[in-house]
A and B are shown apart, each in its own frame.
Chain A
């Protein structure tokens, strides 16, 4: 899956504390702005990043976010990958369902972020960690 994406540019941001969630979503908005995403897409991306970076901070304590400008089939996109080595998710289907939370959340983060991005893939293994790969494509 990774092989057909050509990475033009990339960066990464570490999530170590609560403030890094803000740092990360602001950085991703700047990337989206620079790629000329329209305001609504910028807001979608920023909001999805906030949800997924917060999940890292909340459930894994720390992790990292990789930001990539990618090209695939003549399209340019912003690919953002959220990686942690926290407790992982036992039941992915349950975690992805609307309104399910193991804590005091609203259970909107994962399903909401999926709706806001064009691509969304969640890989997780209990005890090993979680990786969420998302991408938003510029309109043709």
Chain B
């Protein structure tokens, strides 16, 4: 009976910090690792702090390499968008894979009220549009 060593696979998920890049007035958050719950919660806090520090009006969370969004991560993404909204910043979730979108809806989570875009470029256009509207 083969036994996958948890120790070996555990090493591959060392607690990496997710980078938050500032580009012009926007924050870009490329999530590149399979996050455990603690790391996801940490990221939520880091994004809110960074919004405050940089006075950002727009945040793009790029999940194009994420191969699974469960109820926990889904809730974190939705909550982050709403919390950022209270701080007068808009959040766009970019690049959700088709299989992830299908599974998320089947799971019962629609991410209602959260802005999404097909890719980074579309996310930036959407943010510009939203912020223009806010300014008008």
- Tell me the A residues contacting B by CB distance below 8 Å: 9-14, 18-23, 25-27, 29, 39-40, 42-44, 46-47, 50-51, 54, 98, 105-106, 108-109, 111-112, 115-116
Categorize the interface residue count of chain B.
20 to 34
Pick the contact of A10: B1, B35, B97 (CB < 8 A): B1
A-B contact pairs, 9 of them (CB 8 A): A11-B3, A11-B4, A13-B6, A23-B10, A43-B102, A47-B107, A50-B72, A98-B108, A106-B109
B71 contact set on A, CB distance < 8 A: 51, 105-106, 108-109, 112
CB of A26 within 8 A of CB of B107, answer: no
A109 contact set on B, CB distance < 8 A: 71
CB of A40 within 8 A of CB of B103, answer: yes
A93 to B72, CA, bound (A): 22
A13 to B10, CA, bound (A): 12
CB of B37 within 8 A of CB of A112, answer: no
CB neighbors of A among B92-120 (8 A): 97-100, 102-104, 106-109
| Contacts known (A46-B68, A108-B71); A115 close to B6, Cβ less than 8 A | no
Classify the interface of chain A: helix, strand, loop or mixed. helix
CB of A43 within 8 A of CB of B100, answer: yes
CB of A18 within 8 A of CB of B38, answer: yes
A18 to B15, CA, bound (A): 12
CB of B99 within 8 A of CB of A39, answer: yes
B98 contact set on A, CB distance < 8 A: 40
Pick the contact of A19: B10, B72, B104, B109 (CB < 8 A): B10
A51 to B107, CA, bound (A): 10
A111 contact set on B, CB distance < 8 A: 108
A129 to B106, CA, bound (A): 27
CB of B4 within 8 A of CB of A44, answer: no
| Contacts known (A112-B107, A116-B103); A22 close to B36, Cβ less than 8 A | yes
| Contacts known (A20-B6, A108-B108); A54 close to B1, Cβ less than 8 A | no
Q: B130 to chain A: closest CB distance in Å?
A: 26
In the complex, residue of chain A having the shortest beta-carbon distance to the beta carbon of B35: A22
A116 to B104, CA, bound (A): 10
CB of B99 within 8 A of CB of A42, answer: yes
In the complex, residue of chain A having the shortest beta-carbon distance to the beta carbon of B109: A108
Q: B113 to chain A: closest CB distance in Å?
A: 15
A39 contact set on B, CB distance < 8 A: 99
In the complex, residue of chain B having the shortest beta-carbon distance to the beta carbon of A98: B108
B20 contacts the other chain (Cβ, under 8 Å)? Answer: no
- Sorted nearest first, the 8 A-B pairs with minimum C-beta distance are A112-B107, A50-B70, A43-B99, A108-B71, A43-B103, A40-B99, A46-B68, A39-B99
